[in-house]
């Protein structure tokens, strides 16, 4: 399957796959960071917005939200969830906006979908160009040097008279600028089990390397991966929230 095939073909299962994510807590955490570091504006864009769950909360917080994603079936669902928002099918590594923005977000480690360092730099350049002065870019990231290939996140759910099992985990070879996100979905219905596996190529950087890439564009602040508390990164954990103010 191609890098986006699973999400395109199974977009109807995406919300179920993400059912254990606290979208409101994540959105509220970034809203608080925007209050602290942002320019006070409310024009917001969510990169790799999926079915619009984060955008829905930002709309409810009073933002003028929009979103981009590569997969039109996801965007169709996002528009149903957020009819007052604007969504477009664009690549986050090369996107344009009609009006400058105050806040750009990218949740669920989706910035890693920039599959190499050059694509990531193109993404950052696009974000920088889209933001107003002192605009804010917030995203989460995993440090390649702290990835444990043996770990995976698993959860189960029931829907449409079926049982689902979802598994995801990072994998890094130990060298180079590529890592992968390995995904598995199993659906059991009437005693029959179907399964899908996919492996998404993603950019791999250490936090030190990432900060060097960000520095020409942004003033960078790094926080612990905790959306309910604003705590500076402890320089030990391998997941963090990056808060970037446009230079």
23 and 58 co-located in one domain: yes
126 and 46 co-located in one domain: yes
Residue-level pLDDT at 244: 98
Residue-level pLDDT at 4: 53
pLDDT over 70 at 7, yes or no: no
DSSP string, the chain: --TTHHHHHTGGGHHHHTTT--HHHHHHHHHHHHHHHS-S--EEEEET-TTSHHHHHHHHTT-EEEEEES-HHHHHHHHHH-TTSEEEE--TTS---SS-EEEEEE-TTGGGGS-SHHHHHHHHHHHHHHEEEEEEEEEEEE-GGG--TT--EEEEEEETTEEEEEEEEEE--SSSSEEEEEEEEEEEETTEEEEEEEEEEEE---HHHHHHHHTTTEEEEEEES-TTS--B--SS-SEEEEEEEE-
Residue-level pLDDT at 10: 62
97 and 132 co-located in one domain: yes
pLDDT band at 13 (very low <50, low <70, confident <90, very high): confident
| CATH number of the domain that residue 183 is part of | 2.20.130.10
98 and 160 co-located in one domain: no
pLDDT over 90 at 215, yes or no: yes
pLDDT over 50 at 3, yes or no: no
Average pLDDT along the chain: 94
> Is 83 among the domain residues?
yes
Residue-level pLDDT at 12: 76
- pLDDT digit string (tens) for 225-244? 999 999 999 999 999 999 99
Q: Are 73 and 53 in contact, with CB atoms under 8 Å apart?
A: no
123 and 178 co-located in one domain: no
> Is 5 among the domain residues?
no
Domain that holds residue 58: 14-143+204-246
pLDDT band at 160 (very low <50, low <70, confident <90, very high): confident
> Is 109 among the domain residues?
yes
When pLDDT is averaged across residues 112-130 and rounded to a whole number, the result is 97
pLDDT over 50 at 73, yes or no: yes
19 and 67 co-located in one domain: yes
187 and 228 co-located in one domain: no
> Is 76 among the domain residues?
yes
55 and 108 co-located in one domain: yes
> What is the number of structural domains in the chain?
2
189 and 233 co-located in one domain: no
| CATH number of the domain that residue 236 is part of | 3.40.50.150
67 and 98 co-located in one domain: yes
Residue-level pLDDT at 198: 87
175 and 92 co-located in one domain: no
78 and 136 co-located in one domain: yes
When pLDDT is averaged across residues 174-193 and rounded to a whole number, the result is 95
């Amino acid at each position: 399957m191609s890098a986006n095939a699973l999400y395109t073909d199974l977009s109807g299962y995406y919300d179920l796959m993400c059912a254990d994510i606290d979208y409101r807590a994540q959105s509220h955490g970034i809203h608080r960071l925007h209050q602290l570091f942002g320019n006070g504006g409310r024009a917001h864009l969510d990169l790799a917005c999926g079915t619009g769950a984060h955008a829905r909360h930002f709309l409810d917080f009073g933002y003028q939200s929009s979103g981009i994603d590569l997969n039109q079936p996801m965007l169709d669902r996002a528009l149903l969830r957020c009819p007052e928002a604007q969504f477009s099918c664009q690549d986050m590594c090369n996107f344009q906006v009609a009006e400058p923005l105050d806040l750009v977000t990218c949740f669920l480690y989706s910035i890693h979908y920039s599959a190499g360092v050059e694509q990531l730099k193109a993404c950052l350049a696009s974000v920088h160009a889209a933001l107003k002065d002192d605009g804010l870019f917030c995203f989460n990231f995993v440090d390649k040097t702290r990835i444990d290939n043996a770990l995976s996140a698993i959860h189960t759910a029931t829907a449409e008279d079926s049982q689902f099992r979802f598994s995801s985990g990072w994998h890094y070879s130990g060298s180079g600028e590529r890592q992968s996100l390995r995904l598995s979905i199993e659906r059991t219905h009437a005693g029959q089990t179907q399964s899908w596996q996919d492996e998404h190529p993603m950019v791999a950087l250490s936090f030190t390397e990432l900060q060097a890439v960000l520095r020409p564009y942004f003033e960078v602040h790094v926080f612990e991966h905790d959306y309910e508390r604003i705590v500076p990164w402890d320089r030990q954990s391998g997941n963090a929230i990056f808060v970037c103010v446009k230079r």
